[in-house]
Structure 1
Amino acid sequence: MDTEIEILGPMAVRCAGTVHHLQSAQARVAFARLVLAGPEGVTRDELADVIWPGELPPTWASALRTLVSRLRTFMAPLPAESTNPLAKLGGRYVLALREDVLVDVEDATRSVTAAQEAFNTGDVTTAARLATRAADRLRLPFLSEHEGDWIAGWRERLTEYLVTALEIASRAALGSGDHARAALLAEEATARAPERESAHRCLMAVREAMGNRGEALRAYQRLRRYLAEELGVDPSPETEAAYLALLGPSSPASPSGAPGAGPAAGHRPVPFTGRRQEMATLAGAWARAARGRRQFVLVTGESGIGKTRLLREAGAAMAAEGGLLLVGRCDENAMVPYQPLVEALDSYVASSPDDPLDAVCPSARGPLRLLLPSLGGPCAPGELPEQPVLFAALTQLLLVAASERPCAVLIDDAHWADPQTVELVRHLLRTTAEARLCIVVAARNDLPTSAQRRVRTGLDEAMLRFEHDGDGAEVVLGGLDLAATRTLMHDLITGTTPTPTRTTTTTRAATTRPGATAAGTESTAARLVRRAYSRSGGNPFMLLEMLRHPAGLYAVPPAVARLVAAKQAAIGHDATRLLQVAAVTGPSVAFDAAAGAAGLDVLAALDALETLLQVGILAEGSQHPDRPAVYEFRHDVVRQVVDEQVSDARRRHITSRQRQVAGPRNSPHIHSG
């Protein structure tokens, strides 16, 4: 490019290797106005208003003519469509430059648009390059020595482009794994546009990806407070959804902590399906809470079954009805005392335009300042007041929140809660009976350790009283049924929701066979759905991981293998031996035969079996009074994971033991399914 006009920063024109500058500030602003007007040009009055944004001087007309004459002389070297680049046509001044003249403002804004398109198509490298180049230009000042409506409008427009470029560059850096750069860019975006919610959502996503969920929550809190104090509005539904997504470790489009659908599903958002009864239970509890009767709902289920997604959807529904959402989560080996309640109430304090401590008694303010990060906490556990003082302070603050509007406290991953947190939850339930409060706690029920069983026991004991009074309910999440699995797969693969007929379960697998008839297509699709349902047991996490795997439903997704490995690490030696025998045997196995092949006595085998039932790997199959008890894998893909881990030597040993246990005349009580 031979000629470039630089309006941003020190104004200059670069032409044929020579740099030209305008010495007069009035000439610079007039030149910028003419360049950015393009072929439409500007009237004499419009040009005068930019040069003299206040009151026009008495001799402005002659001064303008002189200035235009100087600009014609300055622009003479520029390549133009005619010998006179600055002409007056139809009462308007028009600067007719050739198309190959590069204007930095136009180039930067085009680069932002191109960067967004590249990012949307997955070209992260190109998006990062274009967005970074645009941001470097747009950071330069625009006519810093001048003011006026036209200049202010352009500055606002260029700031919007700059913040967009920073967001794209941040998300591209995040996609390439450069978290530090992504954070710096997102922080700059929020600093330049504190009211722009997309910039704060970008920062929230970066902080969460860095493993700092507390900082992600504080980014949301800063935005909420700014919007309340400066604009008097609440965050948008999209931002509230991003806030709710921080409840779990997954992306907003993913259910139950499961990654979103991948290539096999076309990266479509994961639909929420098959939980009508569970949502109705939560909606009923919320309605009773809104009428002034505190409610407690305990959501339980195995890993990946959809607890987090259920909380997210229920929370969104509660917020849509005007509820105040307070969200917290328990982390394994958390360092913050009473972590989920501290997180939930700190979010309320940080985002409140008023000082919530004004509404609590003076004796509660000190403990709250020691606990809540937005008030200067948390201090070391040894410096905290006695438990009754802390409980009373937190209860007061929660009651203040619930007095403003109906309040939902959503606590996820409660299986990691420490005993003190469980006791705090029970205290809150005992002391808030007349509050407009709904406490929803989600916990896994497939952990074998005694510590997690104690947590569950504490929550169960809390539930007893409230179930009896009609103020509590447990929602036990099982796998999706066949119809919900079909809906989920159909929506992900085709992008549409099937109507309730027998001829709409078309899937990719069903449409790839040339010349297939309608009946054949339906049969193929139905078989695919049944296979996916059988292998996943209706577990959304496992189902989605299989759908996203390039090799299809019959491969073992790495995420599922990691989940099974984590469960195996916690079950003990005897349970592992029994599990390996069951996996080699097939989808179902008779207890007596499996115990014998594993070399375990009856009591040891029973303990091992109970562990496998507890962690949700095996389930009781159909029982017959005259036959040995049979147990089945709840998820065929889990059986495949374990089976693939068994060495050939161990497989031969298991097969040999099975023959010995069965004896020469009797077939083993083993069922291949």
Structure 2
Amino acid sequence: MDVEIEILGPMAVRCGGAVQHLQSAQARVAFARLVLAGPEGVTRDELADVIWPGDLPPTWASALRTLVSRLRAFVGPLREEPTNPLVKLGGRYVLTLGDGVRIDVQDAPRAVAAAQEALDAGDVVAAARLATRAADRLRFPFLSEYEGDWVAEQRRRLAEYLVTALEIAGRAALEAGDRGRAALLAEEAAARAPERESVHRCLMAVRGAMGNRGEALRVYQRLRRYLAEHLGVDPSPETEAAYLALLGPSSASSAPGGGATVRHRPVPFVGRRRERATLACAWDRAVRGRRQFVLITGESGIGKTRLLREAGAAMAAGGGLLLVGRCDEGSTVPYQPLVEALDSFVAASPDDPLDAVGPAARDALRLLLPSLGGPCPPGELPEQPALFAALTELLLAAASEPCAVLIDDAHWADPQTVALLRHLMRATADTRLCLVAAARNDLPTSARRAGLDEAMLPFEHAGDATEVALGGLDLAATRALVHKLAGGAGADAPAADPVRRVYARSGGNPFMLLELLRHRAGPGAVPPAVTRLVAAKQAAVGQDATRLLQVAAVTGSSVGFDTMAGAAGLDVLAALDALEALLRAGILAEVTAAVSQHPDRPANYEFRHDVVRQAVDEQLSDARRRHVTSWQRAAPGRGRDTGPRLSRAGAERL
């Protein structure tokens, strides 16, 4: 006989196709107490305390006996055996139900646990189904008409299960690509449990995946404020790490060059010992009261953002206040990175941070910071000196404790933002502030990067600024990365070393390295993400530079300037301009004559990453390839020792 007991919502017992209800509130709470007690049962006094949570009535003993008799009559049909399931054993009331009886307040928590196991195993469909079913049941109230300590404790316990179910269902929806549903579930979970950090991390992830980084930051800010005001604590390291992760590229696009994102397991952080030490020293000097400026530079995909995040996590772990901002290409937000960083400080502060600044600064900040009602249209903002003074006052208030300001994609900073950074550095000399910015150095034009260099120069001379230039990972770090990604397997390099091969093809660039490791089309194929990146770089450097690249790709490992210019059909000056653009973009590198036995021998040029050469080569038409090889064969002075060699791919296509 199928029996279902529904404690949540309108209490009901479904037995043999019939539905029975308990009319008395006292009978309902007593029945719920007996059901949840299980085989241990409850004493007479414990049952009485639940039924009458205040003072016991004078006739409570006889009233309890009457109530138990009514319950015995109610539960009698729940078992096919002649004995009644509600008995008194050793002074305790025990309700013995069969194994096949389903009880919603027990089934729902079990479903939540099963949903978590399914999510951990990667079965998002099962996780969503189980968690959604549990949440739908747990949303019903538990004995809404009754009060008392035991009832309140059960409500608290079931509410926690509900929040967990919502969080699991939200994460499963996010994994499945249903971001709208994930947002609704995560919002409900955060509203029901404003103190639970994991649900806010889930909501931050959802908003970030939807491309709404500003809203994701505001989720963090609301959580930080709540924890400070109600619990007097800061967010956990896991939440701070999620906050730092918002520095990374938007989930709406992949790594450098754009394209669809693919979910991968978290990438371990390896190498960069020297760079981390430099950042740690700068932070130590800032903590001692001398503000610092660190500029992290490198080509696209080299790991600037990751180093920035790891440095920020270390600073936060050391008790520092972390403020985060980013520059977006073509942004219309005035002073975007500093506004983002200081707005998060204002939104997350339990006290009114404007109390620490003067009246003029308060007026300017209210027009500029989103959490205070801004930003207003740029034409309505105060003059630049007033804005600079207001932002400086607010930053000084934040830096009353050790403070780190992290700015990603600083190469997109407009001149006004660079001017503000220069002003802030001058005005905060004796504060516990460390400003760390990450910028690309492979853009076709160096105008904006030159602004950062100019801003940093006077402080670098004073020992308060330094540049951390990132190159590729070395072979040892590459091996460590592959070893960790493989879960510790394959520590010893085989005779045919695949790690050395992908290292050689990528030049140690982490983005290219990871794409080569993940790509399954074969060890010699070019991953689509790398193809997109190379196409974006070619579009940025222009047509003349692309022609030089095409010649170099067909030629092979290295090529001379005259060969590139001649086969590309460019005059000397145009070819020089194009070559310099390729060198600035980090696509080609000069093989200096210093390594030669003949110092006056002209330098050659080679691709910094062989996979980039291959990507360019694969996009060439046979007609262009024939033109390049024909020109090389016909050109005078191409001796065996000095002339370039065709790439293997180019030779195979002849």
After TM superposition, the score normalised by the length of structure 2 is: 0.94
Residues 665/197 of structure 1: CA separation in 2 closer, same or farther (3 Å cut): closer
Match of 2:612 in 1: 638
What is the aligned counterpart of 2:412 among 416, 421, 425?
416
What is the aligned counterpart of 1:580 among 533, 543, 550?
550
Alpha-carbon deviation of 1:664? 8.4
Residues 110/417 of structure 1: CA separation in 2 closer, same or farther (3 Å cut): same
Residues 231/494 of structure 1: CA separation in 2 closer, same or farther (3 Å cut): closer
Q: How does 1:313-392 map to 2 (within 5 A)?
A: 313-392=310-389
Structure 2: how far apart are the matches of 1:275 and 1:259?
A: 28
Structure 1: how far apart are the matches of 2:624 and 2:30?
A: 85
Match of 2:650 in 1: none
Alpha-carbon deviation of 1:268? 5.1
Structure 2: how far apart are the matches of 1:584 and 1:152?
A: 76
Contact 1:367 1:390 in 2 (8 A): yes
Deviation track 1:538-566 (CA, whole Å, cap 9, x = no partner) reads: 11111111112223543222222221111
What is the aligned counterpart of 1:657 among 623, 628, 631?
631
Residues 257/162 of structure 1: CA separation in 2 closer, same or farther (3 Å cut): farther
- Confirm whether residue 506 of structure 1 aligns to residue 492 of structure 2: yes
- Confirm whether residue 438 of structure 1 aligns to residue 453 of structure 2: no
After TM superposition, the score normalised by the length of structure 1 is: 0.91
* Higher mean displacement: 100-109 or 231-240: 100-109
Deviation track 1:145-200 (CA, whole Å, cap 9, x = no partner) reads: 11112111111111111111111111111122221111111111010000000010
* Higher mean displacement: 650-659 or 414-423: 650-659
- Confirm whether residue 282 of structure 1 aligns to residue 279 of structure 2: yes
Contact 1:556 1:640 in 2 (8 A): yes
What is the aligned counterpart of 1:492 among 485, 492, 499?
485
Amino acid at match of 1:224: R
Structure 2: how far apart are the matches of 1:257 and 1:641?
A: 14
Structure 2: how far apart are the matches of 1:240 and 1:313?
A: 11
Amino acid at match of 1:652: R
SS of corresponding position for 2:624:
helix
Contact 2:632 2:638 in 1 (8 A): no
Alpha-carbon deviation of 1:90? 2.2
Amino acid at match of 2:471: G
Match of 2:652 in 1: none
Structure 1: how far apart are the matches of 2:155 and 2:30?
A: 16
Match of 1:407 in 2: 403
Residues 575/148 of structure 1: CA separation in 2 closer, same or farther (3 Å cut): same
Match of 1:468 in 2: 461
Q: How does 1:42-61 map to 2 (within 5 A)?
A: 42-61=42-61
SS of corresponding position for 2:468:
strand
Where in structure 2 are there 5+ consecutive unaligned residues? 648-654
Residues 551/392 of structure 1: CA separation in 2 closer, same or farther (3 Å cut): same
Contact 2:258 2:532 in 1 (8 A): no
Structure 1: how far apart are the matches of 2:40 and 2:259?
A: 51
Contact 2:208 2:250 in 1 (8 A): no
Match of 1:103 in 2: 103
Amino acid at match of 2:165: A
Contact 1:249 1:257 in 2 (8 A): no
- In the comparison of the two structures, how many residue pairs are matched? 641
* Higher mean displacement: 536-545 or 555-564: 555-564
Match of 2:583 in 1: 613
Q: How does 1:204-243 map to 2 (within 5 A)?
A: 204-243=204-243
Contact 2:5 2:104 in 1 (8 A): yes
Match of 1:161 in 2: 161
SS of corresponding position for 1:570:
helix
Deviation track 1:338-387 (CA, whole Å, cap 9, x = no partner) reads: 11000100111111111010110111001101111111111111111111
Amino acid at match of 1:644: E
Alpha-carbon deviation of 1:31? 0.8
Contact 1:38 1:95 in 2 (8 A): yes
Match of 2:299 in 1: 302
Residues 426/375 of structure 1: CA separation in 2 closer, same or farther (3 Å cut): same
Alpha-carbon deviation of 1:506? 2.4
* Higher mean displacement: 219-228 or 167-176: 167-176
Amino acid at match of 2:619: Q
Contact 1:327 1:411 in 2 (8 A): yes
What is the aligned counterpart of 1:272 among 260, 269, 273?
269
Contact 1:262 1:548 in 2 (8 A): no
Q: How does 1:99-178 map to 2 (within 5 A)?
A: 99-178=99-178
Deviation track 1:401-450 (CA, whole Å, cap 9, x = no partner) reads: 111x111111110111111111111110111111111111110001113x
Contact 1:367 1:384 in 2 (8 A): yes
Give the superposed CA RMSD. Answer: 2.2
Alpha-carbon deviation of 1:659? 1.7
* Higher mean displacement: 47-56 or 186-195: 47-56
Amino acid at match of 2:405: V
SS of corresponding position for 2:5:
strand
Structure 1: how far apart are the matches of 2:537 and 2:80?
A: 73
SS of corresponding position for 2:423:
helix
Deviation track 1:577-636 (CA, whole Å, cap 9, x = no partner) reads: 111111122232222222222222222221111111111111112434354421111111
Contact 2:4 2:101 in 1 (8 A): yes
Deviation track 1:491-547 (CA, whole Å, cap 9, x = no partner) reads: 211337xxxxxxx8426xxxxxxxxxxxxx3x33xx222212111111111111111
Residues 155/638 of structure 1: CA separation in 2 closer, same or farther (3 Å cut): same
Alpha-carbon deviation of 1:215? 0.4
SS of corresponding position for 1:172:
helix
Alpha-carbon deviation of 1:79? 2.9
Residues 642/664 of structure 1: CA separation in 2 closer, same or farther (3 Å cut): closer
- Confirm whether residue 427 of structure 1 aligns to residue 423 of structure 2: yes
Amino acid at match of 2:444: P
Where in structure 1 are there 5+ consecutive unaligned residues? 497-503, 508-520
Percent sequence identity over aligned pairs = 78
SS of corresponding position for 1:670:
coil
Structure 1: how far apart are the matches of 2:258 and 2:75?
A: 61
Structure 1: how far apart are the matches of 2:371 and 2:568?
A: 56
Amino acid at match of 1:204: M
Residues 255/581 of structure 1: CA separation in 2 closer, same or farther (3 Å cut): closer
- Confirm whether residue 183 of structure 1 aligns to residue 183 of structure 2: yes
Contact 2:365 2:390 in 1 (8 A): yes
Structure 2: how far apart are the matches of 1:555 and 1:644?
A: 10
What is the aligned counterpart of 1:394 among 377, 391, 395?
391
Match of 1:292 in 2: 289
Alpha-carbon deviation of 1:255? 10
Structure 1: how far apart are the matches of 2:467 and 2:9?
A: 63
Alpha-carbon deviation of 1:220? 0.3
Alpha-carbon deviation of 1:662? 5.0
- Confirm whether residue 77 of structure 1 aligns to residue 53 of structure 2: no
Contact 1:300 1:445 in 2 (8 A): yes
Amino acid at match of 2:588: L
Residues 490/82 of structure 1: CA separation in 2 closer, same or farther (3 Å cut): farther
